[in-house]
Structure 1
Amino acid sequence: MGNANNLQMIGFSSRIEAGSIEGKPIMDPHDEGLSGSVSTKRYMLSLKAVSEIWGKKNIWSTFTNSIKIAFLSDKISLLIPFGPLAILVDHLTSHHGWVFFLSLLGIIPLAERLGWATEQLAFYTGPTVGGLLNATFGNATELIISMYAIKHGMLRVVQQSLLGSILSNMLLVLGCAFFCGGILHPKKQQVFNKSNAAMSSGLLLMAVMGLLFPAVLHFTHTELHVGTSELALSRFSSCIMLIAYGGYIFFQLTNQKNSYIPISEETSLDNGSSDDEESPDISKYESLIWLSILTLVISVLSEYLVTTIEGASVAMNIPVAFISVILLPIVGNAAEHASAIIFAVKDKLDISLGVAIGSSIQISMFAIPFCVVVGWIIGRPLDLNFQLFETATLFMTVLVVAFMLQDGTSNYFKGLMLIFCYLIVSASFFVHIDPQSIRKFSHLKINPKSHTDHIRYANSGEECFEFIGHQVKCNVPGIA
């Protein structure tokens, strides 16, 4: 159809040229009366048909090309079918372990693509709005999972998953970036901006302070009003932390525009001779569409993920605390993990540091206080008391990372130490008992193991105590 119209237009052009050559004037439609008007309208309709067909082809070509760029340009997209498979398994069976595992795999590529769509949109919005977009959507997966957990009253899952995101970014993501950068640049000492690292460490210590005081208030039993002072302190501290995070974003965008540009590249950028300047892969409207679609799909899968956590804990014989602190954050941090390693390999360690530590700041100073405020609005008593074990783990992590960053240099051994620290944290949460996550129990099941018996709650998968010989002691309130 398109070729026929093209030939028709060529023929029309040839006749006009032939008429001019023979000395015959080109007909004016206004002079020829009705027949000329009809002829002109016929040719105008032909032009309109050609433009409509070309427009439809262009839209379809843009659509298919956008899908190819979004989902066929990265090998991690091979995990996308696991998401629909999780929904299918949930409707056909009652195996919560499989539903949880498949949802977990399905969210990983979606979280990575969500970060990619945000970066694409940031190309068109400029540094100021782009920074706000990264702050909003950089940890969108964790926020979506947390919102569904708050909705279902799983407040400990919210606390532990957000805590796990901080630990994962500071130890695993930053450790892998340092390690890979040091391995690929063994003869060159990688450096980063010490002043930015010091400010980031200060913000993280402020977050630890916000989480520490409610926990200390709870465990020292020094509340002025028992049962309400801890929650009131948490909500007040959350509002202060949100204001502080807003000030941090404003400071970064107004005074530190080039804070994550390595010193060796600043000269080339000023001279306009940057050879590896990146350009967007898709248009602004395509970025907005993909951002909306990916957020919606992650929201759907997050509900399946959250509602099957406890069933998966029983099915896989894994504590809920380990799932919340270790497994869920690895999914949410897929984009940060890949980006930090890529920039470290390119010897852009300041950007890697901004991705890993910046994401930790977003979670601790924005996501956690935001969830407390949301719980306050909808009537869920979420507080900043992350319990003594979790708060101590966060405090030690911030101290270790602060000492690693104080000299402004990096090498593969520092990265290896951070990875080893994360392995210790993971093992600790695998054997950690979290009585606060236990809500209601249907019955107790006693499994004798030689002289040591473990008592397990059938619907939680959490070991709450053990006894040796004939002495049984339970630390869970309300259980004798």
Structure 2
Amino acid sequence: MMDNNDKNKSNMVVVHTHIEMGPLDGREHEFEDESLVSPASLARKAHVLDSVQHGSFGEGDESLTLGHMMRRLLRSMKIVIFSNKLNLLMPFGPLAIAIHKTTGHHGWVFFLSLLGITPLAERLGYTTEQLAFFTGAMIGGLLNATFGNMTELIISIYALKHGMLRVVQQSLLGSILSNMLLVLGCAFFCGGITYVKKDQVFNKAAAIVNSGLLLMAVMGLLFPAVLHYTHTEVHFGKSELALSRFSSCVMLVAYACYLVFQLKSHRNLYDPVNEGGSQMEGNTDDDEVAEISFWEAMIWLTFFTVWIAVLSEYLVDAIQGASVAWKMPVSFISVILLPIVGNAAEHASAIMFAMKDKLDISLGVAIGSSTQISMFGIPICVVIGWMMGRPMDLNFHLFETASLLITVLVVAFLLQEGTSNYFKGLMLILCYLIVAASFFVHVDPIVGGKCIGSNH
């Protein structure tokens, strides 16, 4: 009898020792070289520790495995859904659908759809950032390029499907104007107020590269408009569309080269700068780790993308009805209201980083997003319209093209010194107010009985 007890105790000691030594071995490797610790390895270690604590290894019981999966699901929902107060707006999405089915009041459907999409756009950016922890810098950059402005792209694709080409053009243009004037202006202003006794500094070389890409985008939009309004096309109505499609392909190639330039060949050019204006090696926030696993991020990314696509269809259907109900031009709704909602998350994060004196990140959010839309979003919409048989082109009309040209020149002029203060931010905000007022009194001329949403 005693022998059996002794054997049982010895077995318990062996198992207990095995459980305790596992994490110790892991810690020993961590102490040897902390620089080799990656977010993915930390996530794997956390998963192993969680498995050890809940007994879900070896000959695991099915009920324990199911309980572990339920705990992971609840933990993931707590992090993604319940950790952000902005997510309180999520119920407005189903409410918009309910109102569309019952009353069909376009004004309320549009307004509630806007509110419902706002937290989804922010969470889409969050899950993309979480996914980038597991994919590396290059793939992470491509993910940000694809999903960073996914809300605007989904809305644009639905507008293309309904033939509302001017809504596509104006919403994409408005997103660029909003990022460059309102988002960047608020970041400069809030950062300047926080550090009122000094000028904040940022990477001037990176800002100049982005300014050059934005000017290239203006060139792509300017020539089709000038060609159309000077009536100098070889084949009227066809040369302009052919030029737009060719220029869009060139702009997409340029943007792909820019990603390689930024993430691979000249990564050191995008290092942040310190107060003295010199670049700092590496990143000071390398201790950040993923909060959710790879597959959790993929599932949430798919869920938010699909839900945004559903709400976007109701949003696009209600635009013209909301214009009549609110007595606002479609151009104002497309250029001002839609981009403010799509850029709400970027707006908040740019201000937050500027107030922490991390102005390079703020510029990456504001100017980087404008570059994505102008060099990737607009050309890809032209290509998608080409595949759908829609005559989507780069002729954004003279009023919109002039607005973009002046905006790019103003921002490029303010960025050339590599410093910012609250007065520069105030100027950008006031410029955006002028742009908003201009589009409030601007409507497209109705020629030949065509509706406002038509292309020409």
TM-score, length of structure 2 as denominator length:
0.84
**Residues 354-391 of structure 1, C-alpha deviation per residue, up to 9 Å, x if partnerless?**
11111111101111011111111110000100001000
Deviates more, 1:91-100 or 1:256-265: 256-265
Equivalence map 1:9-408=2 (5 Å): 16-17=4-5, 51-264=61-274, 274=284, 277-408=287-418
| Identity in percent | 67
Distance 1:15 1:89, change over 3 A: farther
Aligned to 1:466: none
CA–CA distance in structure 2, aligned partners of residues 129 and 259 of structure 1: 19
CA–CA distance in structure 1, aligned partners of residues 94 and 184 of structure 2: 32
**Are the equivalent residues in 2 in contact too, given 1:171–1:421 (CA < 8 A)?**
yes
**Are the equivalent residues in 2 in contact too, given 1:261–1:351 (CA < 8 A)?**
no
CA–CA distance in structure 2, aligned partners of residues 224 and 123 of structure 1: 51
CA–CA distance in structure 1, aligned partners of residues 448 and 375 of structure 2: 27
Q: 3-state DSSP class of the match of 1:224?
A: coil
**Are the equivalent residues in 2 in contact too, given 1:260–1:354 (CA < 8 A)?**
no
- Cα RMSD, aligned residues only: 2.6
Q: 3-state DSSP class of the match of 2:350?
A: helix
Deviation for aligned residue 1:253: 1.1
Aligned to 2:27: none
Deviation for aligned residue 1:461: 11
Amino acid at match of 1:215: A
Deviates more, 1:146-155 or 1:331-340: 331-340
Amino acid at match of 1:180: C
Deviation for aligned residue 1:224: 0.8
Distance 1:129 1:308, change over 3 A: same
Q: 3-state DSSP class of the match of 2:193?
A: helix
Deviation for aligned residue 1:261: 3.5
**Residues 12-64 of structure 1, C-alpha deviation per residue, up to 9 Å, x if partnerless?**
x999426779xxxxxxxxxxxxxxxxxxxxxxxxx999622221111101101
Amino acid at match of 1:103: S
Amino acid at match of 1:230: E
CA–CA distance in structure 1, aligned partners of residues 90 and 236 of structure 2: 48
**Are the equivalent residues in 1 in contact too, given 2:171–2:335 (CA < 8 A)?**
yes
Distance 1:268 1:220, change over 3 A: closer
Deviates more, 1:333-342 or 1:220-229: 333-342
CA–CA distance in structure 1, aligned partners of residues 65 and 192 of structure 2: 51
Amino acid at match of 2:396: F
Q: 3-state DSSP class of the match of 1:73?
A: coil
CA–CA distance in structure 2, aligned partners of residues 58 and 428 of structure 1: 57
Q: 3-state DSSP class of the match of 1:330?
A: helix
CA–CA distance in structure 2, aligned partners of residues 68 and 267 of structure 1: 38
Hey, which of these two has a bigger chunk of helix by percent?
2
**Are the equivalent residues in 2 in contact too, given 1:193–1:408 (CA < 8 A)?**
yes
Amino acid at match of 2:156: S
Rg: which structure is higher?
1
**Residues 91-120 of structure 1, C-alpha deviation per residue, up to 9 Å, x if partnerless?**
011201000000000000000000000001
| Runs (5+) with no aligned partner, structure 1 | 1-12, 22-46, 442-459, 463-476
Q: 3-state DSSP class of the match of 2:292?
A: coil
CA–CA distance in structure 2, aligned partners of residues 209 and 229 of structure 1: 17
Aligned to 2:440: 430
Deviates more, 1:330-339 or 1:62-71: 330-339
Task: Between the two structures, name the one with larger relative contact order (CA 8 Å, sep ≥ 6).
Answer: 2
**Are the equivalent residues in 2 in contact too, given 1:110–1:298 (CA < 8 A)?**
yes
**Are the equivalent residues in 2 in contact too, given 1:87–1:304 (CA < 8 A)?**
yes
Amino acid at match of 1:322: F
Deviates more, 1:232-241 or 1:251-260: 251-260
| Runs (5+) with no aligned partner, structure 2 | 10-56
